[in-house]
Structure 1
């Protein structure tokens, strides 16, 4: 079992990563004055998707 497989099955780690991702998005948007808001959001979604944390997908057991 690889590290990403363990991450995908650990709900606590995913919740913490989502909180950190949201905080990073807010920080970048604050620093840029929301000038690149859509690009930052797209990057956040791609990063979360690569880690199996798609917010649009129903919760996995």
Structure 2
């Protein structure tokens, strides 16, 4: 079992909290880099959501 599979198993049922954590981490990175890499951070956040099963389509509202 890969590390990602273990993480997915641990987060099962807590997708909302994981999403909040992803958003909080992205906001922290944006603050520390003064928004210099915000497009890259947003892409990373979306990929994490997809990997963790909190897939939001393009029509879904953004969280931050």
TM range (shorter): 0.7 to 0.9
Aligned residues: 52
Matched residue, 1:42: 43
RMSD of aligned Cα (Å): 2.0
Q: Which runs of 5+ in 2 are unaligned?
A: 59-64
**Superposition deviation, residue 5 in structure 1:** 5.5
Q: Find the counterpart in structure 2 of residue 27 from structure 1.
A: 28
TM-score normalised according to structure 2 size = 0.70
Greater helix fraction, Structure 1 or Structure 2: 1
Stretches of structure 1 lacking an aligned partner (at least 5 in a row): none
Spell out structure 1 runs of 4+ moving beyond 2 A: 2-6
